[in-house]
Structure 1
Amino acid sequence: MSDDESYELLGFDNVLFPVGDLAEAAGFYERAGFTLAFRFDEAGIALLKVGGETPGVLLRAEEELGHRPPPWPSPRVWVEVPDAQAAARKLAAAGIAPLDGVFQGATGWTVEIADPWGNVIGLTDYTRRPELGRRGRSGPTPLSR
């Protein structure tokens, strides 16, 4: 695609996750610390808030979809948290097991979980590089322009 034909990517709208049971999925994610922005059963959708951002994780009911483990490799959506190790402890207290243990990366720690339909969410922090995290940045970043 040439520059004359290209388009500008403005940012995320929502991340869509297919789920087999909307009520079960909403309960799972609420236990995992997400806030339910809305649930519209007639349309088979529910929106989970992610921080103060407008886009979120949109759960979409797919009635024929049964419980399954996540395929490997599978797409992952990572959400920034202040402390991934603390998040892992809260998840364990809520009965949600991580896919693996908490692991360290270049910017900090991450814990990944999978919902009953195999959708994977990672909770990641910037404890090793706080200047790169949301709390450490000041002013617009390349992604927010």
Structure 2
Amino acid sequence: MKVLAVDNILVPVGDLTAAREFYGFRLGLRARVDDPERDMILFDTAPSSPGLLLHTAPVDGRGGAVGMRVWLEVEDVTETVTVLRARGVHPMGDPYWVGSGEAVELADPWGNVIGLTDYSGMEP
């Protein structure tokens, strides 16, 4: 698998409104995408760098989010999934559309989630 770049860092939160206030107001990050219908906000971190993608997710017994995810950009998600399956790596589901292209997630042996995405939906 050839990684082109880190796409976004996914941050699960228990409450999107409170997360918007913390990351947007308190930390002063600029929201690139704020989509309540999809339960997500994408905050810019720096020019040409991965963003912080906040989405609602289950929380642990202390009210904390379950864990972060790292997404990597690849050339072609479908092709990459074929190669990974041949190597014994099985994604957590089928590739799906995220607006900019195809995406899929897989877990390492310890449960850490790695997302793969391409930009097949973006104009060159």
> Structure 2-normalised TM-score?
0.47
Higher strand share: 2
Structure with max Cα Rg:
1
Q: Which has the higher contact order (CA 8 A, sep 6+)?
A: 2
- TM-score norm. by structure 1 comes to 0.41
